[in-house]
Amino acid sequence: MSELLLPPEHRYAKIIQEKLNEDGSELSILNLGPTHPATHGIFQNILLMDGEKILEAEPTIGYIHRAFEKIAENRPFYQITPLTDRMNYCSSPINNMGWWMTLEKLLGVEVPKRAQYLRVIVMELARITDHLICNSILGVDTGAYTGFLYVFQFREKVYEIYEEICGARLTTNMGRIGGFERDWSPEAFRKLDVFLEDFPVAWKEFENLFERNRIFIDRTVNVGPISAEKAMSYGFTGPNLRAAGVDYDVRVAHPYSSYEDFEFIVPVGKSGDTYDRFCVRNAEVWESLSIIRQALAKMPEGNEYHAEVPDYYLPPKEDVYHDMESLIYHFKIVMGEIPVPVAEIYHAVEGGNGELGFYLETDGSRTPYRLHFRRPCFIYYQGYPEMIKGALLSDAIVILSSLNVIAGELDA
């Protein structure tokens, strides 16, 4: 364990000595993580403690740094979706769609309305699973294991819908430039209907279990609050910012994929504490369900699921065997020989945890010159040490899980 002991020149050592000289009280250092079971994911925090109270925290990150941005500079554009999957793996379709939309912005591809609505549906499903995991795990951390087991069944249902759409459960790698790789099967829509029927009942029960629960309220109200100004300065976005009372939502500020066609409320909290974050996520799940229903109701007739852009959209495999032109397009796309303009693009989507941005710089070659992911977790996790200052150790765990920091997104 020697490598975990702090060197004598560390600032904690100074603080401890000062405090000891001042009034003889002994502070201690606690190493939380990186594999602590209560922190879901790998985060290391070296805490300076006065008994049970946290005085300071020093986070270390990078334990699953996988060099996404370096890989992205060496891969053709369509091979980058698998990387986006593995960033925020709780809501990978949002990341996939965000990446395709960035490329569509770059290439000037217009996506048909029906495909846009399908995208909205799958992105909102992803948001539901993301919030579902976060809130149920928050329940586990406050001692309510039941809620977790109960709603996790419905996450499986969403995964079944994903499987119908793209064949994969978690790392979906869904979509193409201009739409989807195939039309959604009738089975997907049927499963979606069943989900829309059953899930609200369970989610209502889940809410009832927590929202007025004395123990849960005692554990979360006024735990880890953050003011709106502080949150904005720390770059918070998404539910965590909205819990602090700022109604910023990329879906509203810069609508993409026809979000302007739908009516929904952007729920906001007041104090930015753990309870508010929980409630904002709960409310967003209801809004997501409403958006999905609206999208299904407004869905244009027909079976159009991708834009007619043969330069970028892979032809059907059968045609590749019989049709000269399809074979050429197929070859060009797979070899990454598609024409790409030289440009700088920034595109943002509202990910599960906030503004997920893609900054893409191209030089006309088959790979991005530079691709930077604006990862919301990475940015707002900076606020964590300040949020847990003065909190109890057990509260630090609850605050961490209510922030929904996803290690894959944090470390890229």
Partner 1 sequence: MSDSNIKMVAPPEGVVGEGFFATKLNDVVGLARANSLWPLPFATSCCGIEFMATMASHYDLARFGSERVSFSPRQADMLMVMGTISKKMAPILRQVYEQMAEPRWVISVGACACSGGIFDTYSVLQGIDKVIPVDVYVPGCPPRPEQIVDGVMKLQELVRSESVRRRSSPEYQELLASYNIK
Partner 2 sequence: MALENTDIQDKLVGTFGESAFNFQQERDIFSFEIKADKNTAIILFLKNDPTLQFHFLTDLCGVHYPDNDENHQFAIIYHLHNWYENKRIRIKAYLNGTPEIKTISNIFLCSNWMERETYDFYGVNFIGHPQLKRILNMDEMISFPMRKEFPMEDAGRTDKDDRFFGRTTINS
List interacting residues with partner 1 (CB under 8 A). 3, 34-35, 37, 40-42, 62-67, 70-71, 82-83, 85-86, 89-90, 133, 148-150, 152-153, 155-156, 159, 169-171, 407-408, 411
58's enclosing H/E stretch is strand 53-60
Name the DSSP letter for residue 212.
Answer: T
Task: Please state the closest distance from residue 93 (CB atom) to partner 2, in A.
Answer: 22
Q: Quick one: the chain helix, strand, coil %, rounded to 5? A: 55, 10, 35
HEC readout, 343-393: CEEEEEEEECCEEEEEEEECCCCCCCCEEEEECHHHHHHHHHHHHCCCCEH
250's enclosing H/E stretch is helix 250-253
Among 12, 154, 206, 234, binds partner 2 (CB under 8 A): 234
330's enclosing H/E stretch is helix 324-334
Report the residue number, 67 or 253, with the smaller CB distance to partner 1.
Answer: 67
Among 10, 31, 36, 73, binds partner 2 (CB under 8 A): 73
Report the residue number, 125 or 226, with the smaller CB distance to partner 2.
Answer: 226
Task: Please state the closest distance from residue 87 (CB atom) to partner 1, in A.
Answer: 10
Backbone angles phi, psi at 398, to 5 degrees: -65, -40
Report the residue number, 148 or 262, with the smaller CB distance to partner 1.
Answer: 148
Task: Please state the closest distance from residue 76 (CB atom) to partner 1, in A.
Answer: 14
Determine the Cα–Cα distance for residues 394 and 383; give it in Å rounded to an integer. 18
Determine the Cα–Cα distance for residues 162 and 183; give it in Å rounded to an integer. 13
382 in contact with partner 2 (CB under 8 A) = yes
Stretch of 36-44, 70-78, 114-122, 391-399 contacting partner 2, by CB under 8 A: 70-78
Report the residue number, 163 or 304, with the smaller CB distance to partner 1.
Answer: 163
Q: Name, in order, each residue with C-beta under 8 angstroms of 315's C-beta and a sequence gap of 6 or more.
A: 323, 326, 329, 330
Among 2, 21, 74, 303, binds partner 2 (CB under 8 A): 74
| Binder of residue 234, out of partner 1, partner 2, none (CB less than 5 to 8 A by kind) | partner 2
Contact of 284 with 404, CB cutoff 8 Å: no
Q: Quick count: other Cβ atoms within 10 Å of Cβ 105? A: 16
Task: Please state the closest distance from residue 383 (CB atom) to partner 2, in A.
Answer: 8
Among 233, 260, 365, 390, binds partner 2 (CB under 8 A): 233
Task: Please state the closest distance from residue 33 (CB atom) to partner 1, in A.
Answer: 9
Task: Please state the closest distance from residue 153 (CB atom) to partner 1, in A.
Answer: 6
357 in contact with partner 2 (CB under 8 A) = yes
Residue 64: strand, helix, or coil: coil
258 in contact with partner 2 (CB under 8 A) = no
Paired with 347 in beta bridges are 358
Q: Which residues of this protein are in contact with partner 2, per CB under 8 A?
A: 61-62, 65, 67, 69-71, 73-74, 105, 230, 232-235, 248, 253-254, 343-346, 348, 355, 357, 359, 361, 369-370, 372, 374, 378-383, 411-412
